[in-house]
Structure 1
C-alpha cells in the first residue's frame, strides 16, 4: 500500500520533524490501536527511513521516503490484515498530516 502526504516544507524541515518525533512512533501507534506495538527505525539515507512495525503478532514492514513535495509511505500489509487496510491508511494519513502541520 502506498500513501502520499503532500507538504510545502522542504526536505530538511520534514527530516527535522521526523527525527524529533520518530522515537515516539511506537507509543503513538499503541495509543491509536489500543494494542502493544513496537517500531524499530533506521535511516537508510538522508531521505529514506525504514520502519519495522510489529503489532498483534504481525510484522508490517514500512518505508518512508521524503520527496520535495510529499512524503511517501510504502506499507506491506500482510494478507491476514487485509481487513484493516483502510484503518492503517487512515491512521498513517492522519498522523503524517499532523507531523507536517
Structure 2
C-alpha cells in the first residue's frame, strides 16, 4: 500500500515569490532526497504536480503554494515506505532552504 508523506513549510515570501522559487528550484529539492530521480513536473494553477522515478519505483506528489506556506505531499510506493521518515526529513530541510528569505 502507498504511504503519503506530507510536509508543511511556512514562509514569509508571499505566493508569487514562493511560486517562483519552487518553479526554479524544485529539482534541487528532489535531488536532495538522496535518490537518483527522473523528475517530470507541471503546474496546475498554484499546485505543482510531479512524478519521480527512483529505483524502479514511481513516486507521485504535489506542491501546493499558498501566501504563507507550502504543502508538499509525496506518495511513496510500498517498496519505499520504510524510508518515509528519512525522506520527510530531507524534504523539510531542502524545502526550508529553498524558501528561506534572502
Q: When you count helix as a share of all residues, which structure comes out higher? A: 1
- Cα 1:97–1:25 shift into 2, 3 Å: closer
Aligned residues: 96
Who is 2:79 aligned against?
Answer: 80
Alignment partners' CA distance in 2, 1:14 and 1:36: 25
Residues 36 and 54, structure 2, Cα contact 8 Å, conserved in 1: yes
Of 15, 20, 28 in structure 2, the residue corresponding to residue 16 of structure 1 is 20
Alignment of 1:1-101 (within 5 A): 1-24=5-28, 28-29=31-32, 32-33=33-34, 35-45=35-45, 47-101=46-100
Greater RCO, CA 8 A, separation 6+: 2
| Residue segments in structure 1 that go unaligned for 5+ positions in a row | none
| Residue segments in structure 2 that go unaligned for 5+ positions in a row | none
Structure 1 stretches of 4+ with a deviation exceeding 4 A read: 23-26
TM-score by length of 1: 0.85
